[in-house]
Amino acid sequence: MRRSYWSTLRAVTQLLIWLLFITLLIYTRDPIEDPAPYNFLPRLSIHLGITSSIVAQRLLDSFLPALIVLGSTLFLGRFFCGWICPLGITIDVTDRIFNAKKRNILKRAGHTIAIKPYKFLVLMFSLILSIAGIHASGLIDPLSIAYRSYGTALYPYFDNTVKLIFFGLYYIPFVNAVSEPTFSILKKSVLSFHHIAFDGHGWIFLTLILILSLSVFARRFWCQSLCPLGALLSLSSRFSVFRRVVDTDKCVNCLQCEKECRMNAIIDNGEGTLEGECIKCFECLKSCRYDAISFQPVSPIGKARREDEKTRTAAGGGPPLSRRKLLMTLVSSLIAIPLFRINTSYRRDHAFLIRPPGALPEEEFLDQCIRCGQCMKICPTNALHPTLFEAGPEGLFTPRLIPKLGYCEKNCILCTQVCPTDALKKLKIEDKETTIFGTAFIIRDLCFPWSEQRNCIVCEEVCPTKTKAIILKETMMENSEGKRVSVKLPYVLENLCIGCGVCENKCPIAGSAAIRVRAPKIVSADQLV
Amino acid sequence: MIDYSYLFCNNLKIAQTGMDISYSSNTQRDTMTQTRRTRREVLSGFLKSAFGIMLGSIAVPLMNLFGRSADSSKTVVVIKGKDLSKESLERMVKKGFDTLGGIDRFIKKGMKVVIKPNIGFNSRPEQAHTTNPDLVETVARMCIRRGADVTIFDRPVNSAPLCYRRSGMIQAARNSGADIEYIDERKFREVRIKNPLNLKTLLVYEDMLKADFVINMPIAKDHGSATLTMAMKNLMGVIGGRRGWFHINLHKNIVDFNKAIPVDLIILDATRILTDHGPNAGTPADIKEKRTLVMGTNPVTVDAYTAGFFNMRPHRVEYLRLAARENMGEINTSRMNIIKRTV
């Protein structure tokens, strides 16, 4: 077998996984019957699984796939990072584009630099915060970041740009004979039917760019030094069965493999490996001209293992978490706890923080939402958007309904079906109409009938509840010219209003609607008699 | 569009016979007696057809001047069926066409036919928020059998793919072989309105204006601000711009829509009507199964008749009053030519 077989296989697999990821992202949309099977990406993260379970104070079974991934690392090492993780794939691509191979600040003459253990500190930070009941893990988890970035930033950018180009080509004669059919095909396939644009997309894009721009320092900087999931997987990978084995007879210590290794996992003059860092990219295998490298199953009680551990401690590799670093992490976590927890913005005014239908009560919702963005992406009316600080710092990138940008379609329960952690309870279509997630109110000074004595009544027309949560009362009023006119005045029947926001969305008043949806006036009727 | 001159040729056959005999003048040499009779017939045939054509050529421009105020526009064909099965609907539609003179009068081979149903909301057909899809399928199929190309579209209030699917229209189009398209926002054209009540210009969907034959297929419903929504209001689904704005001075705008957009035939769906909490809400108690179709060429007349299904006098609906004042159609049921049939 050629030396490059495995690395080529890996590259091809990465391409296929990326295509699968993109396909699932784009095609998990209306009119899909049940999107639940396709929400598995964030569920592969054991980091999310552990932190979410701690915060929710129960074992979340939706993260069972993550256990399988964790289990597999005991055999295959950290292959998930090298072959499957979409963020890893993206980083590999940007590394290649920006030729990051030339730079490697994470390795200085002989041993890997001390910054590498930071991923364990990030992991510790995340765990401590989750013990304190703060669910910040979704912000730094690579699978959440990947889905959120592609779903709320990259895909909408692609969609909007392509549409803009074809819209322009439509007006050019002759060219439009080719562009229009192409556009029709694209519209039915990869483009979104409805307009998609997410509030706060810039911040999510910025986060991704920051991570990718770390290429400036070294390849896979995030994976080596910051990724909390990588940290967890590296801990279990240390005991993996398939390991890199170097035939010392054949090896001439040319260090070609060490140069190729994108994770700086090769130590001890090319003969040793930090298994916890090795993502099985097989570039070393490809580059070794002396056929000295192979990947073989090694029994846990084997000599090789002992040797590895010897070399690790000698070279100062492995997770050298000095006591000082651990202490600093502890202290910064403790400082971070109040920073996250003190949520005055929510208590002060969360009138316009409307959660998606089926959302758990706010505290529990924040405990279970992993900020993956799947609900926002799947919403067929682009109604759900990431919050910035409206829900406090802990609520960053959790979903909220913004009626002016998109209303909640009746008969649609896609967001509740796709949520991988049941932060949005799965609703049945029949129940949707009685699930209250907001209440509308009319700003009479803006509303046409109320303030100008002119009939309008778009809100009543579009209200989808069975017996209309908005009623019209024909009233005699005096208009600004002193004339008495008959006006149909709208009133909201608050006990019937579910807060879907179609009234606000269709209200013709420019700037901001005259009928607004706010959070439900009364939190829970369950406890009332 | 429709040729109205037939109304003024009481016997179309006479004109035709006159023309036939004139071309077969070679036979006149065969029998002397036959020839004399034939010549008299030829002369009378010519005179009758000439008279008919003369009247027709004056009447058509006259009618265009005053809108559809000719007799045909006061005709309303009301067909009641046995049930809502596809067979029953087909019999109803066929009867309706036959009563109006046969479908071949309207639909010819190669025509571009546009069917404009109500696909406004994300509701199931049984909720009576959208036009009965089986009815649309039946009409589309009949047109396609005549050799026409049928396109179906509407500009819904809710999300278009959801509306098209849940209302059953996509399936109806697939079953009948018609094309069904989503509105392309780039294809609206500005139309100037003659003698408007409120709007100087209006953005109208291009495919509506370019079609050879337009069939408006509304469903009759109660409506909060418009009082009732039937054929005239259904045109809201082919206009561009922000829908909400047209609700200010809604009734005048509805009249202006109908001035701007020509429609060739209305097949109003009164199989199930929504009598309360319209246009998109209501419980089963609000839905009345009337198993009826109302067909006609004048939307004002069709709407005025249909108001009766809601126990309402047409004069109660402001846009009908305004349309009558503009001489766009007859709203007084006693002056209409109502033809009722049951199948």
pLDDT of residue A329: 87
Residue B62 clears pLDDT 90, i.e. is over it = no
What per-residue confidence (pLDDT) applies to B300? 96
The last residue of one of the domains, among B47, B62, B77, is: B62
Q: Write the residue in A170, A412, A462 that is nearest to B186 by C-beta.
A: A170
Measured from the Cβ of residue A59, the count of other Cβ atoms closer than 10 Å reads 12
Examine the pLDDT at B82 and tell me if it is beyond 60.
Answer: yes
Cα–Cα distances in Å, from A56 out to A143, A307, A368? 19, 42, 6
Mutation target among B127, B188, B225 for the A interface, most CBs of A within 10 A:
B225
Residue B95 Cα, gap to closest chain A Cα (Å): 35
Q: How many CB atoms lie within 10 A of CB B22?
A: 12
* Dihedral sign from CA coordinates of B150, B156, B161, B167: negative
User: Cβ contact (<8 Å) for A455 and B248?
Assistant: yes
For residue A486, the distance in angstroms to the closest alpha carbon of chain B comes to 12
Is residue B267 classed as helix, strand or coil in its secondary structure? strand
Q: Rounded distance, CA A33 to CA A41, Å?
A: 19
| CB B323 within 8 Å of CB B258 | yes
Distances (CA, A) of B94 to A13, B172, B203, B286: 60, 18, 34, 29
Please report the pLDDT score of residue A1 as a whole number.
60
- pLDDT per residue over B198-216, tens digit each? 999 999 999 999 999 999 9
Q: Which of B68-82, B233-247, B258-272 has the lowest mean pLDDT?
A: B68-82
Q: Which of A448, A455, A466 sits opposite B281 (nearest CB)?
A: A466
- Chain A residues whose CB is inside 8 A of the B249 CB are 454
Beta carbons of B243 and A506 less than 8 Å apart: yes
Distance (Å) from the alpha carbon of A411 to chain B's nearest alpha carbon: 8
A401 by DSSP, 3-state: which?
Answer: strand
Identify which has the larger pLDDT, B267 or A105. Answer: B267
| Residue spans per domain, chain A | 5-29+39-153+204-315, 342-435, 436-529
- DSSP-derived 3-state class of residue B299: helix
CB distance from B282 to chain A under 8 Å? Answer: yes
Task: Kindly determine whether residue A458 and residue B247, on different chains, have CB atoms separated by under 8 Å.
Answer: yes
Cβ neighbourhood burial of B28 (10 Å; 0-12, 13-18, 19+): middle
Q: Is B182 on the interface with A (CB under 8 A)?
A: yes
Whether residues A508 and B248 touch (CB distance < 8 A) is answered with yes
Q: What is the DSSP letter of A216?
A: G
* Encoded tokens for A136: 């910040």
Instruction: Check residue A51 and give its pLDDT.
Output: 94
Whether the upstream peptide bond of residue A31 has omega within 30° of 0, thus cis, is: yes
ipTM over 0.90: no
Alpha carbon of B76: minimum distance to chain A alpha carbons (Å): 29
Closest CA to A155 of A207, A182, A190, A187: A190
Q: Are B202 and B189 in contact (CB under 8 A)?
A: no
What amino acid occupies position A211? I
Three-state SS at A409 = coil
Across the interface, which of A31, A167, A506 has its CB nearest the CB of B244?
Answer: A506
Tokens of A381: 């009316």
Return the pLDDT at A268.
Answer: 80
Q: Are residues B116 and B261 in the same domain?
A: yes
| Domain stop point among B13, B28, B62 | B62
Is residue B159 within 8 angstroms of chain A, CB to CB? yes
Nearest-CB residue to B122 (from A170, A411, A467): A411
Tell me which chain B residues have a C-beta less than 8 angstroms from the C-beta of A464: 121-122, 280-281
What gap in Å lies between CA A65 and CA A71, rounded to an integer?
A: 10
Please tell me if the domain spanning A342-435 has the same topology as the one spanning A436-529: yes
The residue among B43, B62, B81 that closes a domain is: B62
Residue A84 DSSP symbol: I
Same domain, B58 and B97: no
Q: In this structure, are strands B149-152 and B112-117 parallel, antiparallel, or unpaired?
A: parallel
Residue B35, domain extent: 4-62
C-beta atoms of A409 and B162 within 8 A: yes
Instruction: Answer for the pair B319, B254: CB distance below 8 angstroms, yes or no.
Output: yes
Confirm or reject contact between B49 and chain A (CB < 8 A): no
Q: So what's the pLDDT on residue B5?
A: 41
Looking at residue A52, its pLDDT comes to 93
Question: Do both B207 and B222 map to the same domain?
Answer: yes
Please tell me which of the candidates B165, B225, B245 has its beta carbon nearest to residue A455. Answer: B225
Q: Which of A170, A454, A466 has the CB atom closest to B282's CB atom?
A: A466
Contacts 24+ apart (CB under 8 A), A95-103: A95/A215, A95/A219, A95/A220, A95/A262, A98/A215, A98/A216, A100/A215, A100/A216, A100/A218, A100/A219, A101/A219, A101/A262, A103/A216, A103/A217, A103/A218
Q: What is the pLDDT along chain A (529 residues), one digit of tens a residue?
A: 677 889 999 999 999 999 999 999 999 998 888 888 899 999 999 999 999 999 988 898 899 999 999 999 999 999 999 999 999 999 999 999 888 777 777 666 545 555 567 888 899 999 999 999 889 899 999 999 999 999 999 999 999 999 999 999 999 999 989 999 999 999 999 999 999 999 999 999 999 999 999 988 889 999 998 999 999 999 888 888 888 999 989 999 998 998 889 998 888 888 888 888 899 999 999 999 998 998 888 876 555 566 556 555 544 454 556 788 888 888 998 998 988 888 888 888 889 999 999 999 998 899 899 999 999 999 999 999 999 988 888 899 999 999 999 999 988 999 999 999 989 999 998 888 889 999 999 999 999 999 999 989 899 999 999 888 999 999 999 989 999 999 999 999 998 999 999 999 999 998 899 999 999 887 655 555 5
Chain pair A-B, CB pairs under 8 angstroms: 89
Cβ pair B280:A448 closer than 8 A: no
- Per-position b or e across A26-37, b if 16+ CB within 10 A of its CB: bebbbeeeebbe
DSSP conformational letter for A354 = B
Block residue for tokens 């978490």: A321
Chain A: residue nearest B127 by CA?
A466
Q: Read off the pTM.
A: 0.84
pLDDT at B117: 97
Per DSSP, what are the bridge partners of residue A228? Answer: none
Say how far apart CA A187 and CA A179 lie, in whole Å: 12
Under DSSP, the state recorded for A243 is E
Regarding the domain delimited by A436-529, which CATH topology (the fold level of the hierarchy) does it fall under? Alpha-Beta Plaits (3.30.70)
**Is residue A488 within 8 Å of A449, Cβ to Cβ?**
yes
Q: How far apart are CA A454 and CA A438, in angstroms?
A: 27
Claim to verify: residue B313 and residue B238 sit in the same structural domain: yes
Secondary-structure class of domain A342-435 per CATH: alpha beta
Indicate whether B11 and B127 sit together in one domain.
Answer: no
Residue A14, CA atoms < 13 Å, CB-side half-sphere: 23
A191 token code pair:
């483009």
Tell me: do B55 and B84 sit in the same domain. Answer: no
| C-alpha–C-alpha distance, residues A392 and A115, integer Å | 31
Both B75 and B46 in one domain: the answer is no
Task: Give dist(CA A140, CA A119) in Å, integer.
Answer: 11
Verify whether the Cβ–Cβ distance B248 to A463 is below 8 Å: no
Å from B126 to nearest chain A CA? Answer: 14
Same domain, B72 and B190: yes
Nearest chain A Cα distance for residue B214, angstroms: 25
